[in-house]
Structure formats: structure tokens, C-alpha cells
A = this chain, B = another copy of it.
Amino acid sequence: MKRLLERIDREILATGGKRSRSRAVVIDRFFRARDHVTIEELTRSVRESAPGIGAVTVYRTLKLLERLGYAKELDFGEGARRYESNLSPHHDHLVCRQCGTVIEFEDREIEQLQDLVTRRHGFHPTAHRLEIYGFCRKCASGTSPERSR
């Protein structure tokens, strides 16, 4: 973790940026946070340790992390974006419309079929998004319709 932050700082310096205390807090909190956080959630978390930090800095820092390849932008159609760390391997998402739970999955076969599709159309893929919306086991069973966010 410390090592990661140092590495990121080095990359920022290498690209003409400067270190900053605020940014360090945001980055630290981001990697410790549960995945798929909104800016608003992350800002709340950041302010627990550094109340002065503004949401704008959180926005900017996540854009920066995305540019460097450490964060990924998500959009589950909720109106606000979410971000997740890009350190773990690629995966797609099951999103529960009742309780908001997000289940990650990875399916080699689906990915391969996607490659086939693009090849068939002479299309050069750079990214894709696959999200399945519905109801998680708990919410579908109707026994405990939770609402976590």
C-alpha cells in the first residue's frame, strides 16, 4: 500500500506533477474503500481524516488515477459515476436493482466470443462493458428486501 502510493507519486513527478498531501489522502482512501464507490461516498470517507478536502479534489484525483491506469470509471446508470481500483484483473458486473449489491464475475468464454464478434466485423476493440441488471439472490427471494444504498 505504502509502496503503491510511492509508485504513483513517482509517476506523477515523472509526468511533471507535484506531490500533495490532499491527493495522498484521497488515493489512500480510494484503495482502501470498498469497490464501486461514488465520488460522493469517497469524499465523505476522505473528510473523515481530512475535513478540509473538497469534492473537486476527489474528482480531479480520480481522473488522474484513471489516466495513470490505476482506476476505472463505471456507470451503472444511477446518475452518478462509480470508480473501482484497476489493480485486480478484468471483470464484469451483476448489479442488483433492489439493494445495490454488485457482484463481480469473469467469464473467459464470453470474452473470447466478444473477440470473435469484433473480428467478424473488422472492429478493433479497446474496451467493453457488460453489466447484467436484476435482483440478487436475497432480493429475488423476497424474504429480505434490503436497501443498502
Residues of A within 8 A of B (CB): 75, 77, 94, 96-97, 103, 105, 107, 109-110, 113-114, 117-118, 120-137, 140
Contact = CB atoms under 8 A, between A and B. Distances in A.
A69 B136 CA distance: 24
Nearest to A138: B122
Stoichiometry (number of copies) = 2
Contact of A128 (B107, B133, B135): B133
Contacts of A122: 136-137, 140
A129 B129 contact: yes
Contacts of A134: 118, 123-127
Contacts of A132: 114, 117-118, 123, 125, 127-128
Contact of A140 (B103, B109, B124, B130): B124
Given A125-B134, A134-B126, A113 B110 contact: yes
